[in-house]
Amino acid sequence: MKLADLFVTEAMDLSLPEMTKDETLNHLASRFNLSGGVSDVVGYVERLQAREAQSTTGVGDEIAIPHAQHESIQEAAIVFGRSNSGIEWESFDEQPAKLIFMIAAPEGGGGEHLQALASLSSVLMNPDAKSGLLSAQTPSEVIDIIRQFDKNEQEADAEETVASVESNEDEYVLAVTACPTGIAHTYMAEEKLIQAAKAQGVNIKVETNGQSGIGNRLTRDDINRATAIIVAADKQVEMARFNGKPVIITKVADGINKADELVTRATKADAPIYRAANADENAELADDGEGESLGRQIYKHLMNGVSHMLPFVVAGGILIAISFFWGINSADPSSPEYSPIAQALNTMGSISFAMMLPMLAGYIGQSLADRMGLVLGIVGGLFANPSILTAFNTELGVFEGASSSGFLGALVAGFLAGGVVWLLRKAFSWMPKSLEGMKTIFLFPVLGVAIMGLLMLFVINGPMSAVMTGLVNLIDSIPREASVLLGFVVAAMMSIDMGGPINKAAYVTGTALVTEAGGAGSDVMAAVMIGGMVPPLAIALSATINKNLYPKAQHSSAMVNYVLGAAFITEGAIPFAAINPLKVIPSLAIGSGVAGALSMFFGSVSYVPHGGVFAVLANGVTNPIMFLVSWLIGGLVGALLLVWLLNPKNEAVVEEK
């Protein structure tokens, strides 16, 4: 479907009155309702507002693109509104929005939704298109303008992105654009670079690494012909192919705001020569990060793992949480509460969680060493916690009882995978190129998996087991009279590595005390459980207090942590702890410790080892009101510490420097 066909002419308003952002959303949604586009205006507006709460859709340059999906929408559509005076939209450039494009999509219609966003963002980068929309007098004129510039984009794409300009025939610039979400900024940078190159009479081709995949992929011939390559990206892209060429590596924002400067530098080949880790054409190492700080390289590799892990965390957490509605023990066939539906949901959620650590380690490894890094990282993630194999009904054999290093071990495994691949390449560099296929198909996988397994089981996991034993002994050494201190310690331990040995030391202790109590319950178990409930709550609260605290792509996942915290699914906080562990983990540990101490102080006792809020509703925890109050206080303490320590302005200053 062409972009112009998505516009609903009867819902347009070219003279919006002075109003707030929320009033504008309601106004446009009501007009959309009158045209028959949406039946549930309230529900759709709530989705729009939820999207705005994640991060503003005011993209700057007097443009806002609010967007959301809803089940009462049958077909994707765009409702256009124009304000002559401008509406405050909290835009990135602090300008009020005059052109508002409200994108509506049916539930599950993500493809049309993203395609409309990408196409619209590209069109609006053309100054003539914006000027025409500001002066259009009728809805039909708006449609004509959109059709004109969208048509030009489609028909002249090959000419503009690979333009043949007689005056500078020898200058050929390539570019790659990519942002974490792969929607607006990816295509805005593309359009700005094309405009800058056209103004300078330079041939350019731009590859977009967007949400729907790679568009306009650069070919080997393109790279050979190129004067230089501009990589404007905030996530990992394929880099080994640029070996030996001048490469400018920068942020995607620079592709939008500094396009002229970047194109000028590229035409002069004013950039360092990029050297891939392996000059061979078949090199699998994706990027050695030349030209970037060590911190930024680590951040990009880490984010690659976190972004691929997130869907497994969310899917597993929600499915397990839903299974609790049938009762705490409903997934146990031997329990009177047993429900096959609950068991099925719990099993599916457990399997999704079982894939979390392998995905984290695997995609860190993939970012460092492409396919081979992915293989070794997944294996390392599995060995970080061998017991997760039981989720697949797999016999552990000789690995039965092997110690676990949790998500911290998975982080190590991901980076270790890149190191192992690098060592294997060095060790077999003497082999002739004719045997290159044997290395990647046979030698590297076999040796790499064996090395990773041995390192994880006998080097990484081993010391962590000793740490776990020491922590259990620490808990046992605390006098029972010092209950508040004990509650603080065991609850804080639940937040330090969230599923790793420290967390397990506290949880196993609490579970053992519940078992030994013979039905009387345990106050330590209550403190342990509340300690595991605080980290997701603190993440969600901090994201609510400061919507710019985390990367935009993770804001929705942060909101899901309200549910995960209520269900005692601590792992929901792992992706956020992985990004900045030195600031996030202490904040969560203090918040959990406060909650655990309060739980002990109020005398809450848990009769069950799991369930969170659902255990409270099922009368599994005594003094339930104060237990929930303790949870909320601990979550708020952790959230405020996160807001204080993770100051986006400070991060931005460091990034700029």
% of the chain surpassing 70 pLDDT? 75
Inter-residue contact 123 to 78 (CB < 8 Å): no
Q: Chain-wide mean pLDDT for the chain? A: 79
354-363, 456-465, 644-653: segment of lowest average pLDDT: 644-653
Which are the contacts of 404, defined by CB distance < 8 A and separation ≥ 6? 384, 385, 386, 387, 461, 464, 500, 501, 504
What does the block give as tokens for 322? 């839903």
Q: Determine the residue type at 46.
A: E
Would the pLDDT of 657 be above 50?
no
Query: How many whole angstroms separate alpha carbon 508 and alpha carbon 529?
Result: 11
Longest Cα–Cα distance of the chain, Å, equals: 87
What is the 3-class SS of 504-533, one letter each residue? Answer: HHHHHHHHHHHHHCCCCCEHHHHHHHHHHH
Name 197's Cβ contacts closer than 8 Å, sequence gap at least 6. Answer: 163, 173, 203, 204, 263
Confidence at residue 637, expressed as pLDDT on a 0 to 100 scale: 95
Looking up tokens 């031997």 gives 334
Label residue 282 exposed, middle or buried (CB < 10 Å: 0-12, 13-18, 19+). Answer: exposed
Q: Which two tokens stand for residue 657?
A: 């420097």
* pLDDT, mean of residues 288-292: 49
Q: pLDDT digit string (tens) for 382-397?
A: 888 777 666 555 566 6
Q: Are 149 and 130 in contact (CB under 8 A)?
A: no
What is the C-alpha to C-alpha distance for residues 497 and 493, in angstroms, rounded to an integer? 8
Sheet holding 213-215, edge to edge: 213-215, 203-210, 172-178, 228-233, 247-250
Give rounded-to-5 percent helix, strand, coil for the chain: 65, 10, 25
Q: Above pLDDT 90, what percent of the chain? A: 24
> pLDDT at residue 314 above 80?
no
Q: What is the pLDDT of residue 401?
A: 63
| E-state strands within 172-279 | 172-178, 203-210, 213-215, 228-233, 247-250
What sign for the dihedral angle of Cα 632, 634, 636, 642? negative
Residue with tokens 């124009």: 82
Tell me which of 234-243, 266-275, 334-343, 456-465 is least confident. 456-465
Contacts of 161 (CB under 8 A, 6+ apart): 194, 204, 205, 206, 216
pLDDT greater than 60 at residue 647 = yes
Q: Which has more pLDDT, 518 or 115?
A: 115
Contact present, 7 and 75 (Cβ < 8 Å): no
* pLDDT at 500 (0 to 100): 59
DSSP per-residue codes, 453-493 = HHHIIIIIHHHHHHHHHHHHHHHHHS-TT-HHHHHHHHHHH
> Does residue 285 surpass a pLDDT of 70?
no
CA distance 626 to 521: 17
CB atoms under 10 Å from CB of 437, counted, come to 10
Beta bridge partners of 463: none
In angstroms, how far is CA 144 from the centroid of its own chain? 38
pLDDT at residue 167 in the model: 40
If one compares 517 and 234, the residue with the highest pLDDT of the two is 234
> For this structure, is 67 an active site residue?
yes
User: Does residue 44 contact residue 70 with C-beta atoms inside 8 Å?
Assistant: yes
pLDDT class for 463, splitting at 50, 70, 90?
confident
The answer to whether residue 610 scores a pLDDT higher than 90 is no
Whether 324 shows a pLDDT value over 80: the answer reads: no
Token digits of residue 369: 């060493």
Show Cβ contacts of residue 254 under 8 Å, excluding neighbours closer than 6 positions.
Answer: 232, 262
> What number is the average pLDDT over the span 271-293?
54
Q: Which of 67, 70, 301, 308 is catalytic?
A: 67
Tokens 């765009």, located at residue = 78
pLDDT tens for residues 422-452? 899 889 888 775 565 577 778 888 999 999 9
Write down the pLDDT at residue 443. Answer: 87
DSSP 550-580: S-HHHHHHHHHHHHHHHTT-GGGGHHHHHHS
Q: According to the model, what pLDDT value does residue 282 have?
A: 38
| Residue pLDDT, tens place only, 112-159 | 555 666 677 767 777 788 889 999 999 999 998 888 887 544 444 444
pLDDT of residue 536: 92
Q: Which two tokens stand for residue 610?
A: 């799991």
Dihedral of alpha carbons 318, 489, 544, 232, sign = negative
Q: What are the structure tokens assigned to 4, written together?
A: 């112009």
Instruction: Tell me which of 179, 185, 301, 555 is the catalytic residue.
Output: 179
The model's pLDDT over 37-79, given as tens digits with 9 standing for 90+, comes to: 999 999 999 988 887 876 677 877 788 888 888 888 888 889 9
SS3 517: coil
pTM: 0.45
Whether 31 shows a pLDDT value over 90: the answer reads yes
CA–CA separation, 103 vs 48, rounded Å?
9
What pLDDT digit, counting tens, does each position of 217-241 carry?
898 888 988 989 999 987 778 888 8
- 530-580 residue pLDDT tens: 999 999 999 999 989 988 887 766 677 788 889 888 888 887 787 788 778
**Lookup: tokens for 348:** 């599916």
Mean pLDDT of 69-90: 89
Q: Stretch 646-657: mean pLDDT, rounded? A: 50
Closest CA to 632 of 607, 655, 654, 602: 602
Q: For 68-82, 298-312, 369-383, which range has the lowest pLDDT when averaged over its residues? A: 298-312
Confidence of residue 640 (pLDDT cuts 50, 70, 90): very high
Q: What is the pairing mode between strands 58-60 and 213-215? A: unpaired
Q: Which residue is it, tokens 């400018």?
A: 248
Q: What is the mean pLDDT of residues 304-331?
A: 70
Q: Residue 493: pLDDT above 50?
A: yes
The pLDDT value given to residue 284: 36
More confident residue, 566 or 508: 566
Are 101 and 11 in contact by the 8 Å Cβ rule? The answer is: no
pLDDT (average), residues 274-298: 54
Q: What is the pLDDT of residue 120?
A: 76
More confident residue, 520 or 301: 301
The pLDDT value given to residue 395: 63
